[in-house]
Amino acid sequence: MSLKNISAVMVAERSIINIINHSIYGLIHKSNVNKIYIIVPLKDLEIFRKKISYNNIYVVCEDDLISIKNQNRIKKKLGRKIHMYGWYLQQFLKFEFINYIEDESYLIWDADRVLLKDWNFNKDILEIIPARENHKPYFTTLKKVTGISKQVNYSFISQFIMINRGDLNNLIKLINNKRPDIWYLNIIDALEKLKDNEFSEYETYGNYFAYIKPRLISLKKIKWFRYGAAIISLKTLSSCNSDFLEKKFNGYQYVAFERHNYSLIKKVLFHVMAYFKF
C-alpha cells in the first residue's frame, strides 16, 4: 500500500449503523485513506461515537456544515418535494465539507459501501467506474446552474469520487455566478420539482471536471456489487467479519448495502448474480 495520505468523508444516519465499521475497515485497511470524517445528524452523534472503534475517525455534526437556519431554508424551498429533503441535504453536505478541512483533496465515499480489495486512490486524476445511468433531470439541473451540458456517454455515479479543492471551489463559484443565493439554495431554486431526484453531486462534479480537465479522467473496469443487503441482512451484517465478506463477495472490488425492501424473487435473482459475478 502506498503512502496513506487521503482523507475521506461519508454522510450517514442511524439506518446504516450496522454497516459503518465495515465501511471504515475497508478504507483504513485496504486503501491509502488515513482519516475518515462521518457527517451525521445531531440526534445520531452519540450512537455513532459509541459504535466506532477506530482511531483517526471523526464524527461531525451536519449542523456544523450547514446551519439549522439554512437547513430550514432548503426545506421551505423544496415545497411539495420536502420528502426529498434528506436526500438533497446529504449531497450538499459532501460539497460543504470543503469548508471543514484544509486538505487540497478529499474522497467522497458512500457510507453503505464496503471496500473488499486493495485500492490506492489517486489525488491527481479522477478515477471513475463508469455507470450506465442516464437520469435526464440531473443534466437539466446541471445546465441550469452551470451552463454546462452532459460531457460524456457514461455516468459518474460510481459511489465514490475524489474531490479537488480548487475545482470544487470554481464549480461553486460558477453556480453562484448564475444565481444570487448560497450555492445549494441556488440548486434548489433551479429544480423543476417534477421528479423526486433532480440533482446529483456525482454527475455535477464529474461533468464539470470533464468540461475543464477531460484528459485527467481515468475509467476503470472494475466489478462491484450493489445488492449486498439482499444477500446479508443489515442486522446480520454487524456480526460478520471482513474475511467472511471478502469470501461471500469474492470477485468484486466493493459491495453496497443499500437499504431497500427486496422481494423473494429479487433476493433469489441477486443471489444468482453474486454467485456468477454479474
The neighbouring-strand residues paired with 225 are 255
For residue 174, pLDDT over 90 is answered with yes
Residue 85: predicted pLDDT: 97
Residue 269: predicted pLDDT: 93
Residue 157: predicted pLDDT: 94
- Determine how β-strand 160-164 pairs with β-strand 105-109: antiparallel
For residue 1, pLDDT over 60 is answered with no
Q: At what angle do helices 136-146 and 183-190 cross, to 10 degrees?
A: 130
How far is the C-alpha of 66 from the C-alpha of 70, rounded, in Å? 6
> pLDDT (tens digit, 9 = 90+) per residue, 100-122?
999 999 999 999 999 999 999 99
Whether the CB-CB separation of 38 and 62 falls below 8 Å is answered with: no
> CA distances (Å), 135 to each of 65, 150, 155, 189, 200, in order?
28, 11, 9, 19, 9
Residue 177: predicted pLDDT: 85
> pLDDT (tens digit, 9 = 90+) per residue, 127-146?
999 999 999 999 999 999 99
> pLDDT (tens digit, 9 = 90+) per residue, 189-202?
999 999 999 999 99
Span 243-258, mean pLDDT?
95
Residue 54: predicted pLDDT: 84
DSSP 8-state assignment for residue 207? H
How far is the C-alpha of 152 from the C-alpha of 140, rounded, in Å? 15
